[in-house]
Amino acid sequence: MKIKIRSHLWLGLILAGLSGCLTPMTDKPAAPVREVKEMPKAIVNESAPKKRLMILPFLDANETHPVSLRDHARADFITELNRAGQLIVVDSGDLKIDFTKAMKGGEFQFAEVGKAASELGVAALLEGKIIDLKVTRTADPVGLFRQVKTKFEAVVRVRLALARSGKEVFNTTKSVSLEESGTRVAQATTADRLIQTNPEVIEKLVTDAFLDFQTQIFAALAKLSWEGRIALVNGERIFLNVGRISGVNLGDVLRVTEEGEEVFDPQTGGFIGKSPGRLKGTIEVISYFGQDGAVAVVHSGAGFKENDRVEQY
C-alpha cells in the first residue's frame, strides 16, 4: 500500500533537517589539482655543480592556524625544488640550534642562523611565511538553495639571504587565489569556519602560493657563484665539503682562494656578486667520501687550510 505525505509536511521535514552553520554542497566540486610540469632532462645538467639552499621552518602570522598547514606546504615546497634538479636543499634540522632564539619580530635573524649554515656549505637561507588567509563568499540574493561562489586567497612571503653574511637579497610577497562554485543552503558562515571546513583546499592553495616563487628563487641563486670549502687538510689529502651530489667530478681541478667580499649596489642594495679572493692555487679531485664529500690533492700552489673557498677552475 502506498503512503502519501502532504506537501507541507514534506517541506517541514526538510527544514527540520537543516542544522549547523553550513551544509554540504549538493554537487561538491572536485578539489583543485596542482599541475607539476616536469623539467626536460636536456635542460638540467646532472653533473653541473649545485648550490646549497637551506629552507628554514615556515612561519605563520596567525598562530590560530594549524601547524600542519605550514609544515605540509614546506614539505611540498622542498620536494618540488629538489625535483627541479638545479640545487641541493639542506635540512635545517642539521643545524642543531634553537630556532626560537634566532627570531625577532616574527622573523628569522639571518645573521644568527647563517654562520652555522655556511659551515655546512649552504649558500643561501630561505624563510617562508604565511601572511594572511582570506575567504569571501557571494550568493544569489533570494532562495533557500542558492548558487554560491567562494574565493580563497593566500598571501605569503619569501625572504632569501646569503648564508655567510646574513644579508637579505630577496623579499617578495605574493597573493594566490582560488574560486569554487556550488549550490548551498542559504545560511551565513564566518571566514574562519570556511577555513576550518576546507583544509585540503587551503593546504593546496598555500602550497601553490609558495611554489609560485620557484622561478624567482632560481634567478636569485643564479647570481651566486658556486663554491665549496676545505673541511680538513690531512697531509697530502684535502677533504672538501662538496662531492658527487654537489656535482663535483673525479679529475676536476678546482681553484682555492681566500674569502672574497660580497658586493651590493649602493643605490638599490641589491646583491651584485662576490669579488674574487686571492688565489692560493689549485687542487685535483681524486675520490669521494661520506654522503657528499670529496678528497683532493694539491695540483699547484700551497698554504691551503680549513675553510678556504674552492670554486670551478
Say if residues 168 and 113 touch (Cβ distance below 8 Å).
no
Sign of CA dihedral 192, 197, 198, 199: positive
* Domain extent listing, the chain: 35-222, 228-312
What's the CA gap between 257 and 311, in Å, rounded?
8
pLDDT of residue 11: 38
Distance CA 119, CA 95 (A): 9
Taking the whole predicted model, whether its pTM rises above 0.95 is answered as no
% of the chain residues with pLDDT over 90: 33
**Model confidence at 94: pLDDT above 70:** yes
Question: Do the strands 103-104 and 87-91 form a parallel or antiparallel pair, or are they unpaired?
Answer: unpaired
Give percent of the chain above pLDDT 70.
Answer: 75
3-state secondary structure of 255: strand
Class of the CATH-defined domain 228-312:
mainly beta
Q: Could you tell me which residues come within 8 angstroms of residue 229 by beta carbon, excluding any fewer than 6 positions away? A: 119, 121, 240, 241, 242, 306, 307, 308, 309, 310
CB atoms within 10 A of CB 280: 20
Q: Is 303 exposed, middle or buried (0-12, 13-18, 19+ CB in 10 A)?
A: exposed
With bands split at pLDDT 50, 70 and 90, how would you rate the model's confidence at 181?
low
Which 8-state DSSP code applies to residue 188?
A: -
Task: Find the length of the chain.
Answer: 313
DSSP per residue, 268-279 = T--EEEEPPPPE
| Contact in structure between 139 and 149 (CB atoms under 8 Å) | yes
The pLDDT of residue 112: 86
**Cell triple for 280:** 692560493
Query: Which one is predicted more confidently, 188 or 50?
Result: 50
Banded pLDDT at 313 (limits 50, 70, 90): confident
Q: Determine the CATH number of domain 35-222.
A: 3.30.160.180
pLDDT, tens only, 144-167: 555 777 788 899 999 999 888 888
CA distances, 146 to each of 19, 137, 150, 302 (Å)? 16, 12, 12, 79
The predicted pLDDT at position 74 comes to 93
Contacts of 182 (CB under 8 A, 6+ apart): 25, 26, 27, 28, 29, 147, 148
> Pairing between strand 262-264 and 228-234?
unpaired
pLDDT tens string 211-248? 999 999 999 888 887 888 899 999 999 999 888 888 88
Give the confidence band of 301 by pLDDT, cuts at 50, 70, 90: very high
Q: Nearest to residue 154, comparing CAs of 112, 200, 114, 204?
A: 204
What pLDDT does 294 receive? Answer: 94
